[in-house]
A and B are shown apart, each in its own frame.
Chain A
């Protein structure tokens, strides 16, 4: 198996055990995850390529990952379409955004 510190994909784990495997570049949009995965930091997350996010439930983390991919996709675009957020999730997502620094 390849060295997890260099791997192209990382695994995000929610507090209720859902795992999401997404590209490292997308996950690093979040400042918190970027610092977690920084090889220089020698955190266990950086070594294993697996981040357990204790504050986020699977439902929220799914939406967060959707956002990561949305951001990755539209990074260099001029006209960015809006991303649909269900009303019942928007407050939790705001909290998650605060936690993830994104």
Chain B
């Protein structure tokens, strides 16, 4: 069972990032929170090595053949324009332990 008690904010956040790489804004929406309120938690998770920036090479799913790379939120830029976040292997391990 992976139901997170409501008092596990970092767990819920990791879980939300684990579903798919997302931007802080998308995460806030998914969790019914605000990007501001999440910023500190994301910083903690990042400093603990649980979360990292998603890079288009790894996470840009189908960028290669897409004709609309230029309008894609995260295609082909070294510096991810929209700041997608993904779990690190450490984050994945931790999340597995939670569930």
Judge: A and B partners, yes or no: no
Residues of A within 8 A of B (CB): none
Residues of B within 8 A of A (CB): none
